[in-house]
């Protein structure tokens, strides 16, 4: 059996070990000791300060500073009712499969992270919203929650403290948009998964109208380590602005697709060529999407970039979820555009005019180009449609739909132009997408 993942660090060191997924096995590695100490002797304020000092960025895609997000929640003086933590385990960004590993192989690490975060924001309950297709994860988590309840890790006196907490697992039903935090909240409430306008923000009015914090699975899994080893330890890993390890998921035309736990700031070319073994079949690299399907592509010549937002930003892309999609030189970028726009067209919730209509229009235009029916003006038209969508909608989905198309047009205009010039796709093979 191959190691899971290929390179490990503090997050995933024990993920190859089956016992780590059980309560006893987790405790044998010192698990829940940090939470036990904090829940008994610590204060929410100190915990939030530690997190702020660590500089941990959310790993759900937006890289928002976790400690800062927690501090938006009302303090102890607000006693109007319950507040909630929501763990976002909807992982549906194409190219992302990092949370899945943690859910399946480190459920108690996640539960310990949940306990700490919940203590910091004074939440009495956590909703763990899991992508519906993650059957194994749901099975593992259900058992882990039962074990934790039986072992008094959860319950009215969590880990023997005076802090009461419970975790409720909720299964999603396969909509990408239910990963967007307010779409998720609507879905949790049993409604159609459509993101909410902001304000109000979840910290003020979240699930069931109560103050709520939404955090990604991986984000929460960093927390026990940070609290145990300290903010300075965490800051010693990664870059100054983007501390810590992260889980990079590499897929596409590489020799060793899979997960890699590496410090933020690890150069993209090192990940692709050294860790993932380079392009498969001895072919040449054409492009890399660095952070899940919603992020702008980088051409082969620009992959010498440290994987941290402060560097990726200069190349007009971002870390996203760390899902790295590698494409070799046989890849038609218009077909890539067809696939990407098809995805976003399918998944738009349809509330906002620009997103509802723009995703469909972009898809129709690139499909037309792929069929050889494009015009040169279509490139400018596509850019313009992207500009009409970007930054103008209820949620970041429309940006997520526009950015990859903008990236493809920016770096591979020749692929689009040759389709127009030849009146057909110059790449071999047939391509049909419903």
Ligand X SMILES: Cc1cc2nc3c(=O)[nH]c(=O)nc-3n(C[C@H](O)[C@H](O)[C@H](O)COP(=O)(O)O)c2cc1C
User: Contact positions toward another protein, by CB under 8 A?
Assistant: 177, 192, 194, 197, 199, 345-354, 356-361, 364-365, 368, 381, 385, 387-389, 391-394
Q: How many CB atoms lie within 10 A of CB 244?
A: 26
Query: Does residue 195 bind ligand SF4 (CB under 6 A)?
Result: yes
> Of the ranges 203-211, 278-286, 302-310, 352-360, which one interacts with ligand SF4 (CB under 6 A)?
352-360
DSSP 129: E
Q: Which of residues 289-308 bind ligand SF4 (CB under 6 A)?
A: none
Q: Which is nearer to ligand SF4, 3 or 197 (CB)?
A: 197
Nearer to ligand SF4, 356 or 410 (CB): 356
Q: From the list 93, 104, 261, 390, which residue makes contact with ligand X (rule: CB under 6 A)?
A: 93
Q: Does residue 88 interact with ligand X by CB under 6 A?
A: yes
Rounded to 5 degrees, what angle do the CA atoms 226, 220, 26 make?
Answer: 80
Distance from C-alpha of 374 to C-alpha of 383, rounded to nearest angstrom: 14
What is residue 249's three-state secondary structure? strand
- Which residues, at least 6 apart from 390, have a Cβ–Cβ distance to it below 8 Å? 398, 399, 402, 403, 406
Residues in the interface with ligand X (CB under 6 A) total 26
In the bound state with another protein, the residue whose beta carbon lies nearer, of 107 and 172, is 172
7 binds, among ligand X, another protein, ligand SF4, none (CB under 5 to 8 A by kind): none
Six token digits for residue 309:
């937002």
Q: Which of 37, 56, 24 is nearest to 119 (CA)?
A: 37
* DSSP class of 31: T
The dihedral built from the CA positions of residue 94, 95, 99 and 103, taken in this order, carries a sign that is positive
The Cα 186–Cα 275 span in angstroms is 40
Figure out which of the listed residues 149, 356, 368, 410 binds ligand SF4, where binding follows CB under 6 A.
356
Does 350 interact with ligand SF4 (rule: CB under 6 A)? yes
C-alpha dihedral sign at 121, 164, 185, 93: positive
Least distance in angstroms from the C-beta of 348 to another protein: 4
Could you tell me the two tokens for 12? 């995933």
Q: CB nearer to another protein: give 254 or 398.
A: 398
Residues 195-224 that bind ligand X (CB under 6 A): 214-216, 219
Record the tokens describing residue 222, joined without a space.
């960093």
382-401 residues near ligand X, rule: CB under 6 A:
395-397, 400
Question: CA–CA separation, 353 vs 357, rounded Å?
Answer: 6
User: Which of 154/214 has CB closer to ligand X?
Assistant: 214
The binder of 387, among another protein, ligand SF4, ligand X, none, by C-beta within 5 to 8 A per type, is: another protein
- Which residues make Cβ contacts (< 8 Å) with residue 244, sequence separation at least 6? 54, 56, 57, 222, 226, 234, 237, 238, 263, 264
Binding site for ligand SF4 (CB under 6 A): 177, 194-195, 348-352, 355-356, 393-395, 397-398
Binding site for ligand X (CB under 6 A): 58-62, 64, 66, 69, 88, 90-93, 176-177, 179-181, 214-216, 219, 395-397, 400
């Amino acid at each position: 059996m191959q190691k899971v993942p290929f390179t490990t660090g503090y997050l995933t060191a024990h993920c190859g070990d089956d016992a780590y997924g059980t309560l006893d096995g987790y405790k044998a590695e010192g698990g829940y000791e940090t939470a036990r100490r904090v829940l008994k002797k610590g204060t929410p304020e100190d915990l939030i300060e530690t997190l702020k000092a660590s500089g941990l960025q959310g790993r759900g895609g937006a890289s928002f500073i976790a400690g800062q997000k927690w501090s938006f929640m009302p303090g102890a003086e607000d006693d109007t009712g319950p507040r909630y933590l929501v763990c976002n385990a909807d992982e549906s960004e194409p190219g992302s499969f990092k949370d899945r590993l943690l859910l399946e192989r480190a459920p108690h690490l996640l539960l310990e992270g949940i306990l700490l975060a919940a203590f910091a924001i004074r939440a009495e309950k956590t909703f763990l919203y899991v992508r519906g297709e993650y059957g194994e994860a749901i099975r593992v988590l259900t058992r882990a929650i039962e074990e934790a309840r039986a072992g008094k890790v959860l319950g009215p006196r969590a880990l023997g403290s005076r802090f009461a907490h419970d975790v409720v697992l909720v299964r999603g039903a396969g909509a990408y948009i239910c990963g967007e935090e307010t779409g998720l909240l609507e879905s949790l409430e049993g409604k159609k998964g459509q993101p909410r306008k902001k304000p109000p923000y979840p910290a003020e009015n979240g699930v069931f109208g109560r103050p709520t914090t939404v955090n990604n699975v991986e984000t929460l899994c960093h927390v026990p380590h940070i609290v145990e080893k300290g903010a300075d330890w965490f800051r010693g890993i990664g870059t100054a602005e983007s501390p810590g390890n992260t889980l990079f998921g590499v897929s596409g035309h590489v020799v060793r697709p899979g997960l890699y736990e590496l410090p933020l700031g690890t150069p993209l070319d090192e990940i692709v060529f050294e860790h993932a073994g380079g392009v498969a079949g001895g072919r040449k690299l054409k492009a890399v999407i660095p952070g899940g399907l919603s992020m702008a592509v980088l051409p082969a010549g620009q992959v010498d970039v440290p994987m941290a937002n402060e560097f990726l930003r200069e190349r007009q892309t971002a870390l996203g979820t760390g899902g790295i999609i590698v494409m070799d030189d046989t890849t038609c970028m218009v077909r890539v555009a067809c696939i990407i726009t098809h995805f976003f067209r399918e998944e738009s919730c349809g509330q906002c005019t620009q997103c509802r209509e723009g995703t469909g229009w972009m898809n129709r235009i690139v499909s037309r180009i792929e069929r050889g029916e494009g015009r040169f003006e279509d490139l400018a038209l596509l850019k313009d449609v992207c500009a009409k969508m970007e930054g103008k909608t209820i949620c970041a989905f429309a940006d997520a739909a526009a950015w990859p198309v903008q990236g493809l047009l920016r770096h591979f205009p020749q692929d689009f132009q040759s389709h127009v010039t030849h009146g057909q796709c110059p790449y071999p093979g047939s391509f049909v997408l419903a």
